[in-house]
Amino acid sequence: MNFRLGPLEVLCGHSNNASNVSRLMLCIGILCGMSTTTWAATGHLLGLEGLSRPQLHAMLDDAEQFLPVVQGVVDPEPLLAGRVVANLFLENSTRTRVSFSVAAQRLGAQVVDLLGSTSSSTKGESLVDTAANIAAMGVDAIVVRCTASGGPQLISEHVDVPVLNAGDGMHEHPTQGLLDLLTIRQHLGTADLDGRRIAIVGDIGSSRVARSNLHALTTCGADVVLVGPAELVPTDFERLIPNEADRGRVTVQHDFDAVISDVDVVMMLRIQFERHEDQAIPEDYIERYGLNAARAERMADGAAVLHPGPVNRGVELVNEVADGPRSLILQQVTNGVAVRMAALAGLLAS
């Protein structure tokens, strides 16, 4: 459900001068909004598949309420004071783990980190046992990143605290999909993406980012072109979209140059080298699928470049484009904290 806060809109225009009264209204307003958001009804955030367009919009609206806090314009309110959020990260991460931690701490929660290399999973403990033990210590939420697709879902069936998926194998990465959608909404001025065309380029088959985006973007009305070599882009990828009307808007294209000038957003992906043990990456990959300066030149006026990070500079993106005027990469990172604040507050604040 949408909510808009008058006081926040006022506050946004007055950096560092927020009155206590306005801040209190902001806090109450956020809590009121959060308590009625329908997306949080399942008690977990496991994926974007199945969420409706209004639910996605509501999540972005929620996140936008927190952006002034992330940007330092408004002081944080301790909506989650006294709560403990556990980060269970069994796969490497820079952005997502720090972003969840910053988000939780901005909300006044304490964060405990359990990382793969130091967890008992290295002694053979199962994912569910590890998570159940953390839950038994009385934490208030578990943020999970793991190599097993479906791991967070499984955990959610065995613990009685909210579980937030921070990326599970090749399945989903819902907060990344949301922060990408928020960035696109800010750039285009609308999250109703009917008639808009978005290219996702690279290692589509291995990418949980691609999957979450595919669900979010098609639900919001976009046409999505999946671009990459045949080895990395399964032709039957559209089967992932349950709704037949949405499925028709997903196409596969192996020629990047055929779509580059005809899209509103290009979302570049990293090759997931860690998921390609025995599959060679095509030798001409950089030449055919790298976003170099010449290709970026051919993009439509105002078309933007996104990348979830980490960027392999010189592979999928050259420096000029990664740091150039079309790049929204750092805006994505900022938005990530706001999205995660909204997710944590939506599931935990009451």
- Which residues in this chain contact ligand NCD in the complex, by CB under 6 A? 95-96, 167, 173, 176, 208-209, 270, 308-309
Give 57 or 208: the residue with its C-beta nearer to ligand NCD. Answer: 208
Cα 203 from Cα 8, distance rounded (Å): 40
Best CA proximity match to 269, nearest among 327, 330, 214, 315: 315
Which residues, 6 or more positions from 296, have their beta carbon under 8 angstroms from its beta carbon?
Answer: 305, 320, 321, 324, 326
Give 130 or 176: the residue with its C-beta nearer to ligand NCD. Answer: 176
The question of whether 96 is a catalytic residue gets the answer yes
User: For 193, phi and psi rounded to 5 degrees?
Assistant: -100, 20
The question of whether 36 is a catalytic residue gets the answer no
The question of whether 173 is a catalytic residue gets the answer yes
* Shortest separation between residue 308's beta carbon and ligand NCD, angstroms: 4
Give 269 or 342: the residue with its C-beta nearer to ligand NCD. Answer: 269
* Shortest separation between residue 333's beta carbon and ligand NCD, angstroms: 8
Q: Which of 44, 83, 106, 145 is catalytic?
A: 145
Cα 235 from Cα 226, distance rounded (Å): 9
Beta bridge partners of 248: none
Q: Which of 23, 42, 53, 95 is catalytic?
A: 95
CB 145 within 8 A of CB 330: no
* Shortest separation between residue 161's beta carbon and ligand NCD, angstroms: 22
Cα 316 from Cα 322, distance rounded (Å): 10
Give 30 or 321: the residue with its C-beta nearer to ligand NCD. Answer: 321
SS3 7: helix
Cα 56 from Cα 222, distance rounded (Å): 14
Best CA proximity match to 226, nearest among 216, 215, 238: 238
Q: Which of 37, 44, 83, 96 is catalytic?
A: 96
* Shortest separation between residue 182's beta carbon and ligand NCD, angstroms: 14
The question of whether 145 is a catalytic residue gets the answer yes
Best CA proximity match to 299, nearest among 266, 328, 274: 266
Give 7 or 336: the residue with its C-beta nearer to ligand NCD. Answer: 336
Peptide bond connecting 54 to the previous residue in cis, omega within 30 degrees of 0: no
The question of whether 95 is a catalytic residue gets the answer yes
Which residues, 6 or more positions from 282, have their beta carbon under 8 angstroms from its beta carbon?
Answer: 229, 231, 288
* Shortest separation between residue 208's beta carbon and ligand NCD, angstroms: 5
Q: Which of 173, 196, 249, 270 is catalytic?
A: 173
Give 308 or 346: the residue with its C-beta nearer to ligand NCD. Answer: 308
Pair type for strands 250-253 and 163-168: unpaired
Best CA proximity match to 106, nearest among 137, 80, 127, 84: 80
SS3 194: coil
Give 180 or 246: the residue with its C-beta nearer to ligand NCD. Answer: 180
Best CA proximity match to 52, nearest among 250, 246, 314, 210: 246
Residue with nearest beta carbon to ligand NCD? 270
Cα 281 from Cα 228, distance rounded (Å): 11
Catalytic positions: 95-96, 123, 145, 173
